[in-house]
Structure 1
Amino acid sequence: FVMWLPTIIKAAPNMNIVSTGWLSSVPYGLAVILMLVSSYFSDKTLNRGAFVWPFLLIGAVAFYVSYAIGANHFWLSFTLLVIAGGAMYAPYGPFFAIIPEILPRNVAGGAMALINSMGALGS
């Protein structure tokens, strides 16, 4: 997502490098807002899972529909990519709060390190 979003935006008609940069930042702005909101309500309700999987499902559906629409409808496809990007990053707080709740203290740190390592290897 980080690597190919600017390339997709740059391929739009009449798009210059400055517009590409600004439009590439929109999903991350939404992600910050959604991350704060989901973390707040996750802490308020103490139901972490309910704030992880719905965002990931919304992100997956938005990615697929954006792909299915294709480049013919740029702005609709871009809006779906913004939703997908925001939904992809939103559950980070509740997700990493689940780990210490379900694992013993002596292995929680190692488990989070392993999760981060596998995520870094995947990219």
Structure 2
Amino acid sequence: MKKTLLIVLAIILGMAALSNTVDAQQMRGTEISASVSQQIKVTGRVTDSNGDGIPGVNIRIKGSTVGTVTDADGNFTIYCNVGDILVFTFIGYKPLEIVVRGGSIEGVLVPDTQSIDEIF
């Protein structure tokens, strides 16, 4: 009886050890993938061709719903990954797409004269 109980106990403990090993391997894989896609803080300013900041410009990460809006001086902050594409849109201006390469972006929006002419 004692021998059977010891065998069962050894099997259970062995299975628990195997389970913990698998969990540790899965955790290591998770940590690696998390560090690869770590987000950075990107700050910047959106201006017109005269260098004046544009308030209220919509900025979003292409292919997602994550975004922000420029403040009264045209400044913004967004968290994204290097390589993401930021899409800048504002009524009366052509959309602008910028690939994130670092933590600072300066965008200049160009008036969309065609869409303005269509209104009048």
Bigger Rg, structure 1 or 2: 2
Using structure 1 for the length normalisation, give the TM-score. 0.24
- Tell me which protein shows more helix as a share of its residues: 1
Q: Which has the higher contact order (CA 8 A, sep 6+)?
A: 1
